[in-house]
Structure 1
Amino acid sequence: MREFSEWIVELGLIDIPLHRVKFTWRINDSKSKLDRALCCQDLLRNFPNLILVGLKRSFSDHNPLLLTLEACNNWVPKPFRCYDAWFLNSEFKSFLNNEWRNLPNESLHNKLKILKGPGPLKTWRTENFDIMDNKISELESAVHDLKNLSDNRDLNNMERAKLFAANSVLNLWLIRRERMWRQKARTYGFNMKDRNTRFFHASTIFRRKKNETIQTKQWQKRNHSKITDAQVEFLETTPLREKVKNAVWACGIDKAPGFDGYNSKFIKEMWDVLKDEIYDFVLDFFVTGCSLRHLNVTWVTLIPKVVNPIFIDDYRPISMVGALYKIISKILSLCLKELGFGRKWIRWIMNCVSSASMSIILNGSPLKPFKMEKGLRQGDPLSPYLFIHQ
């Protein structure tokens, strides 16, 4: 079975998920999923609402399977996402630097909001990345024609230079496409050198994300002594620039972006441009205690835990926190290891906890945010350190 699965991936075929039934063959107490339907990527691209349905059995040991087109009536506008592959374009950072300097004198949050659009960033994406498939197709045709020509005669110097250039540019576009589909599929544990774009593409289309099992440790109750006044003063000291940068660099770059569309990869790549305004934003919070309500929004997407999810328990909720809020939360979480904090510290923590709201992503689009009444959010760096102490 493993070899068959590897063969499917190698050929770029997609095993269409089966609906309504779990097994397709039964004899007495024996049962198995023997029947399936495979298709190529192009078919699924042309017919994205293709589904495989298991029908009722009659006298046969097998369920008949029906391949059909489901009515596609759930289209919703998709939120903005900044993809890591954009930074593989050598001109992207220069473009961002110029656009950032031309933005109006607004808060950091508003500047990022203006940048993502409808505005310059969406225009750049349309002109430079939405043409990706056409560009790859043109380059593949050019390489193919030149190689066919070389089968009949020796290429001259100009033709060899064209072939080398086409191959080099094609390789860059293939890496960009692979990186983008990998991020969309959120599939981890694969070497980027494998260049298995078809697998990442299939994973994205069918939302087949394999979740890691996180090892947990049972909390051991300890007797904590109240920290000293000197420790309280140290904890409530306004963070310096080095501490802010350490918090940013402590955030993983492979996390999905939150409601603002940016992840830590974007912040790190644009650090030289954003660092002063990020520090001013952090300083404003720690000095004035300004509310984070407009930044403290969490999107929750539901990942199926089973093949044919029906009930809410069949899904695993994944939380996505905004990039700017995560910086504040990370700074506090790096210090939050003891009890007995001062009033200022408690006010900071309560600001982060009480200002949070959540929005469920349905069919790729966020619903209306709602206020959370209890519980801790997955994805918030503070969550592992907050608990009920009795």
Structure 2
Amino acid sequence: MNIIAWNIRGIGGAGKSGAVKKLINSNNPSILGLVETKHSSSKPRRWNSWWRADDLGWEEVLAVNGSGGLILMWNQTLFKVLSSTKGDRWINIEGRWTNGDFPVSITLVYAPNDREGRIRIWQQLKILKQSSNSPMMIMEDFNEILCPSERKGCSRLQASAEDFQEWVSDMCLIDLPLLGRKFTWYRNNSASKLDRIFVEAEWVSRFPEMKLWGLNRSISNHCPLLLECSKVNRGPKPFRSLDMWFSNPNFVKMVEKEWKSFAAMPLQRKLNALKASLKKWNKESFGNFDRKIEQLERELNLIDNISDSALLDECTLARRNALTNQLWLWPKRKESYWFQHSRSRTIKEKDRDTRYFHILASVRKSRKTIGMLRVGGNAIREPRMIKQEITKFYKKLYSEEQPPCLKISGEGFARINEEDSKELESLPSLEEIKKSVWDCESSRAPGYNGFNFGFVKRMWDVVGDDFFRFINNFFQQGKLLNEVNRTWVTLIPKIDGACELKHFRPISMVGCIYKVIAKILSNRLKKVLPNLIGETQSTFIGERQILDGALIANEVVNWCKKKKKEAVLLKLDFQKAYDTIS
């Protein structure tokens, strides 16, 4: 299911019809919205020639004196319109897709250029929302930005932008992230993000794979917007330990039993074996939340119906109480699940809301998914090809070159004394290992093995001895199993609309065992590094500030200028210092 919206800047010019036809043929939309048509009369024959649909529906607002104008078209074999409403700057249709039962309200907007005109439109759309029971989508040219980064060279927002922010907040709208480009409108050296699509939360719940693309510009200074709502198969989901498991009274005993059955295995192999058991147990004990809640509600309702006409025996009363308790427990489990997936760190316990966390998790998933890559000028959207290009790029990036080997004399460098050396190499105690575990945040994203530190801490009485033996063995032998040294790499976009691999920052997600070892070494090194690294090094050392280096450099330059001293200022920049092996 695709939706296209575009400020076409007039449909009567040369090449405009061809551009619209190409857009439709390339993307096969269910719904197409065009604004600033500048047409004062209806052209139904032209609309039909564009689409080639057997059953085309449309609503339009004609331009006044060659200004404005909107047209909203849909394929009636794919989308059934139940009602429509129009204003001088917007069109609204309510209906549903023919292959589903999801009622929607879709509004096409072309906001005026003046602040007063936009405020008038915002008020009209507020009233429109109040009269509709269907989740809204509002799309196209709003002639305003939400933050300074959405306008090239902008440093502060004007009052009209604050009006826009307030309206979006009052309407409880979600601004879908734009992929493929940063701005949607261009003129000479000016650029802004004026075109966008807002949705209510229900859209994100229904279509968690939604992607909003800024397509290539052609005959307009606005780029077309393409919203894809189809589901994409991206392969099997990785294992994740879930906090809600601890709400089951049998969980800890089950883990203890399974852990003892793996007694002959090393720690990492035990964790891998435990994953298979937990996957099966989770499916049997939890399954589908909504289905389980509906089942409990049906059974409780059946008992309530019996109690309407007869007295309940003790067994049935006990069952009803048990069902009531379960109906309190299962929504809490569902809330815990979505809270963990949302990665929210700003919500207080009293503010918890399952629907909010569900939406937060869906938006987060949408933002982090790479739906398109641009490689050599070509756009790649097929998941298999995207994976291949990412693998090829990072294989090359992470290949170690053999640069000329320079020998540096150790003379003149600070040295670790014998006492510090022994402490660095000593075997860690159980208390030191446990402290390192508890220093790690419980809810942080796990590594490739799927176990977060919340699981490790709560199961410490079961797994603690194995952690102690494994880590001590590492300090004795200095070797790690390949499974422990394995790392997942996740790509974080450096800029909005990132679509090239150079615009992503790779973040390594190591497993919990590796992280504990690194934490122990880090805590030990913190004690000796200040004595080894000169005072001029202002970064990566506790209690030193990164800005001190810039301040000192500024003072030195001022001193040289004041004293008229000759000096050389040398700046070294290691390109992609954190993204390569050196």
Indicate whether the TM-score tops 0.5.
yes
Structure-2 residue corresponding to 1:171: 328
Residue matched to 2:241? 82
After superposition, the Cα gap between the structure-2 partners of 1:27 and 1:254, relative to the gap in structure 1 and judged at 3 Å, is same
| Cα distance change, pair 75–23 in 1 and its aligned pair in 2 (3 A) | same
Which residue of structure 2 lines up, in the alignment, with residue 287 of structure 1?
476
- 1:320 is paired with a residue of what secondary structure? strand
Seen in structure 2, the aligned counterparts of structure 1 residues 35 and 160 have a Cα distance that, compared at 3 Å, is farther
Matched position secondary structure for 1:203 = helix
Corresponding letter in the other structure for 2:467 = I
Compared CA separation, residues 333 and 23, structure 1 to 2 (3 A): closer
Task: Using the TM superposition, give the Cα deviation of residue 127 of structure 1 relative to its aligned residue in structure 2, in angstroms.
Answer: 0.9
Deviates more, 1:75-84 or 1:24-33: 24-33
Of 264, 268, 276, which aligns to 2:465? 276
Which one of 185, 197, 200 corresponds to residue 36 of structure 1?
Answer: 197
How is 1:176-325 mapped onto 2 (pairs within 5 angstroms)?
176-207=333-364, 225-325=414-514
Which residue number in structure 1 is paired with residue 516 of structure 2?
Answer: 327
Mapped pair 1:114 → 2:303: no
Relative to 1, partners in 2 of residues 1:307 and 1:233: Cα closer, same or farther, differing over 3 Å? closer
Please give the secondary structure, in 2, of the residue aligned with 1:319: strand
- Figure out how many residues of one structure are paired with residues of the other and give that number: 327
Which whole-Å CA distance do the structure 1 matches of 2:465 and 2:320 have between them?
45
Contact 1:258 1:298 in 2 (8 A): yes
Mark the CA change 1:309 to 1:167 in structure 2 (over 3 Å): closer, same or farther: farther
Q: String of CA shifts for 1:40-91, please: whole Å, max 9, x gaps.
A: 53x555544444455789999987655444473x521222111222223222
1:371 corresponds in structure 2 to: none
Greater Cα shift, 251-260 or 168-177: 168-177
Query: What is the CA–CA distance in structure 2 between the aligned matches of 1:237 and 1:57, rounded to whole Å?
Result: 63
SS of 2:513 mapped into structure 1: helix
Per-residue deviation, 1:115:
1.2
> Shift of residue 103 of structure 1?
2.2
Tell me, in whole angstroms, the C-alpha distance in 1 between the residues paired with 2:508 and 2:268.
20
Structure 2 gap segments, 5+ residues each: 1-163, 369-411, 533-575
Q: Which one scores higher on RCO, CA 8 angstroms, separation ≥ 6?
A: 1
Residues 292, 325 of structure 1: 8 Å contact kept: no
Note closer, same or farther for the CA distance 1:233–1:136 as it changes in structure 2 (3 Å cut). Answer: same
Alpha-carbon contact 2:183-2:191 (below 8 Å) kept: no
> Quick check: 1:248–1:264 contact (8 Å CA) kept in 2?
yes
Deviation at 1:236, TM superposition (A): 2.0
Distance change >3 Å, CA 49–CA 227, structure 1 → 2: closer
How much does 1:168 deviate?
3.5
CA distance in 2, matches of 1:233, 1:206: 50
Q: CA deviation digits over 1:146-182, x for unaligned, max 9? A: 99999x99x9898997776545323322222222222
CA distance in 2, matches of 1:209, 1:63: 21
Segment drifting more, 310-319 vs 260-269:
310-319
Residues 197 and 228 of structure 1, relative CA distance in 2, 3 Å threshold: same
Which structure has the larger Rg over C-alpha atoms? 2
> Which string of whole-angstrom CA distances, capped at 9 and with x for unpartnered residues, describes residues 303-338 of structure 1?
335442212354343321111111111111111132
Consecutive unaligned residues in structure 1, runs of 5 or more: 212-222, 342-373, 379-387
| In 1: Cα distance, 2:577 partner to 2:175 partner | 38
Give the C-alpha shift of residue 255 in structure 1: 1.3
Deviations 1:114-156 (A, max 9, x none): 1112xx2111011122232211333456678899999x99x98
After superposition, the Cα gap between the structure-2 partners of 1:167 and 1:36, relative to the gap in structure 1 and judged at 3 Å, is farther
Partner AA of 2:499 in structure 1: I
SS of 1:178's partner is helix
- SS of the equivalent of 1:291 reads coil
1:36 aligned counterpart, secondary structure: strand
Distance 1:116 1:38, change over 3 A: same
Of 111, 136, 159, which residue of structure 1 is paired with 2:293?
136
What does residue 349 of structure 1 align with? none
Equivalent pair of 1:87/1:93 in contact (CA under 8 Å): yes
* Higher-strand-fraction structure: 2
Distance change (3 Å), C-alpha of 1:325 and 1:63: closer
Give the counterpart letter for 2:251 in structure 1: F
**CA RMSD of the aligned region, Å?**
4.3
Q: Secondary structure at the match of 2:197?
A: coil
How many percent identity over aligned positions? 39
| TM-score after normalising by structure 1 | 0.68
Alpha carbons 2:179, 2:499 under 8 Å: kept: no
